[in-house]
Every structure is written in C-alpha cells, then in structure tokens.
Amino acid sequence: MRRRRDSLAREKPRLEIVPMIDIMMFLLVFFVMIVLRMIPDSGVTLSLPGASTAQPLPHTQVVIVIDAQGNLHVKDQVMSPDALETYLQGVKAGNDTDVIVAGDKGTTLQQLMNVMDLTRKAGITNIGIATSNQGS
C-alpha cells in the first residue's frame, strides 16, 4: 500500500502548453479569415455619383463595378458581358440574390442599363445602384 501512495505523491501536475498553442493558432487563423471576408472585394477606384437620399445598403453577394473606361469588374476580375451573365446565372441558381451596381461618375446611362439588363436576363431582379451620400 505504501508504494502506491509514493507513486501518486511523486507525480506532479504538468501544464501542457502545446495544445494551448494549437488552439490559439486555430483561433488566430479563424479570425484572420473572417476579417478578410469583411474587406471589400474590389480594388477599383471609383468616384461614385451622389444622391441626397442615398441610404446604406445591406451586404450583398454580388457587387458589379463599372469603371471609368466601361470595364466590368466582379471580385477583382474583369469580365466581358457574356462572362458576367454566365457568372450571375451561376450565382442565382435557385437563391434569392441581391446585386449592387457601382458605376463611376463617368459611366454612361447606357452602360448602366446594359449591366442591369444582363442582371435581369440572369433572373435577378433585386438590383441596387451604389451612390455616395451628398449632404442635403
């Protein structure tokens, strides 16, 4: 009986640090991934047209950017009108999808209408137009 008590008395509790490091690394990677998803996905610089009645829009799945040269950008990729329509049809795929069109001040009304027409052809009817808020 004495031996058993001696063996228990000799074992000292140890603090295992490796599992704690693993958990901290997992949390760090998780939060980095979440933060990266929150950053706007377009690096195109725009000068948005203004409206005094502009309201904040909720976060949407698809933001189509029309730059000053008339190029279409989605998720940092330049797309042709046909590629955009195919992409939108893939995104729609049975889901209720919202699309925001952000055009530069120099974008013509015809370019905006072409993008809206492509969006409607893909079956998406919830379309918003991005503007900057002007003071009234």
Measured distance CA(76)–CA(114) in Å, rounded: 20
With beta carbons less than 8 A apart as the criterion, state whether 91 and 61 touch: yes
Higher-pLDDT residue of 11, 24: 24
**pLDDT digits 0-9 by tens, 49-105:** 666 666 666 666 788 888 888 889 888 888 898 888 888 888 877 677 788 888 888
What predicted TM-score, i.e. pTM, was given to this entire model? Answer: 0.58
Mean of the per-residue pLDDT values for the chain? 78
Measured distance CA(135)–CA(126) in Å, rounded: 26
Domain ranges in the chain? 2-38, 50-133
CA distances from 58 to 89, 128, 130 (A): 21, 10, 11
- CATH class in words for 50-133: alpha beta
Model confidence band, residue 136 (pLDDT cutoffs 50, 70, 90)? very low
With beta carbons less than 8 A apart as the criterion, state whether 41 and 63 touch: yes
